[in-house]
Amino acid sequence: MQTGPYRFLLRTGLVLLPVLALMLACEALLWYLGESVPVRRAATRHLPQEGSPAAYMPWFFSQQFNLFHFERVKKLRPALLVIGSSHVTRFRQEMFNPDSGFYNSGRTIGALGDLEQYFDACDALGYAPKTMLLGVDHFWLNNSVPQEGVFMKEIGKDETLDPKAHLTAYGRVLDSARAGRINAALIRAVIDRRDEGVKRYGLTAWLSAGLRNDGSNQNFDRSTPEAYTNLLPASVEAVLQGHRQKNRPILAPGAAVDPALLQRFEAVLIKFQQRGTRIIGFIPPMAGEVRGLYANHPNHYGVFADFREKIPALFRQHGWPLFDGSDPASVGLDDRCMKDEDHAQETYHVALLRELGRDASLGAALSINTNYLQSLLVDAGTTVWFPNYPRQPAALSRVN
- Each residue's pLDDT tens digit, 306-355: 999 999 999 999 999 999 999 999 999 999 999 999 999 999 999 999 99
For 284-300, the DSSP string reads: PP--HHHHHHHHH-HHH
The secondary structure of residue 389, as a DSSP letter, is -
Task: Give start and end residues of each alpha helix (H) in the chain.
Answer: 4-33, 39-44, 65-76, 112-125, 151-154, 163-179, 184-191, 203-207, 236-246, 259-274, 288-296, 298-318, 346-356, 360-366, 370-378
Asked whether residue 280 is assigned to any structural domain, the reply reads yes
Lay out the sheet containing 199-201: strands in order across.
Answer: 199-201, 54-56, 209-211, 217-219
Among 350, 337, 332, 341, CA closest to 387:
350
Asked whether residue 178 is assigned to any structural domain, the reply reads yes
253 and 329 fall within a common domain: yes
208 and 298 fall within a common domain: no
User: Long-range contacts of range 10-14, CB-CB < 8 Å, 24 or more positions apart?
Assistant: none
Is residue 222 exposed (0-12), middle (13-18) or buried (19+ Cβ within 10 Å)?
middle
Asked whether residue 152 is assigned to any structural domain, the reply reads no
185 and 305 fall within a common domain: no
Does 247 score more than 90 pLDDT?
A: no
> Can you give the pLDDT at residue 12?
59
Asked whether residue 151 is assigned to any structural domain, the reply reads no
> Of 194, 216, 238, at which residue does a domain stop?
216
Q: How many domains does the chain have?
A: 2
> Can you give the pLDDT at residue 397?
37
pLDDT single digits (tens) 153-163: 999 999 999 99
Percent with pLDDT over 90 in the chain = 87
Does 67 score more than 70 pLDDT?
A: yes
133 and 169 fall within a common domain: no
SS3 196: coil
Cα 87 from chain centroid (whole Å): 7
Among 296, 1, 275, CA closest to 126:
275
Asked whether residue 5 is assigned to any structural domain, the reply reads no
324 and 204 fall within a common domain: no
43 and 177 fall within a common domain: yes
CA torsion sign, 201 to 202 to 204 to 206?
A: positive
Average pLDDT taken over every residue of the chain: 93
Q: Do 224 and 383 contact (CB within 8 A), yes or no? A: yes
Does 393 score more than 60 pLDDT?
A: no
Asked whether residue 153 is assigned to any structural domain, the reply reads no
DSSP lists the bridge partners of residue 199 as 54
> Can you give the pLDDT at residue 22?
80
d(CA 248, CA 232): 12
201 and 298 fall within a common domain: no
123 and 101 fall within a common domain: yes
Is residue 27 exposed (0-12), middle (13-18) or buried (19+ Cβ within 10 Å)?
middle
315 and 364 fall within a common domain: yes
Asked whether residue 14 is assigned to any structural domain, the reply reads no
> Can you give the pLDDT at residue 49?
82
Cα 388 from chain centroid (whole Å): 22
pTM of the predicted structure, to 2 decimals: 0.92
Residue type at 93 in one-letter notation: Q
298 and 333 fall within a common domain: yes
| CATH number, position 297 | 3.40.50.1110
> Can you give the pLDDT at residue 399?
40
Does 224 score more than 70 pLDDT?
A: yes
> Can you give the pLDDT at residue 17?
62
291 and 335 fall within a common domain: yes
> Of 216, 234, 253, at which residue does a domain stop?
216
> Can you give the pLDDT at residue 9?
55
Q: Which pLDDT band, with edges at 50, 70 and 90, does 122 fall under?
A: very high
Asked whether residue 133 is assigned to any structural domain, the reply reads yes
Cα 149 from chain centroid (whole Å): 16
> Of 200, 216, 232, at which residue does a domain stop?
216
Domain that holds residue 175: 21-64+158-216
263 and 331 fall within a common domain: yes
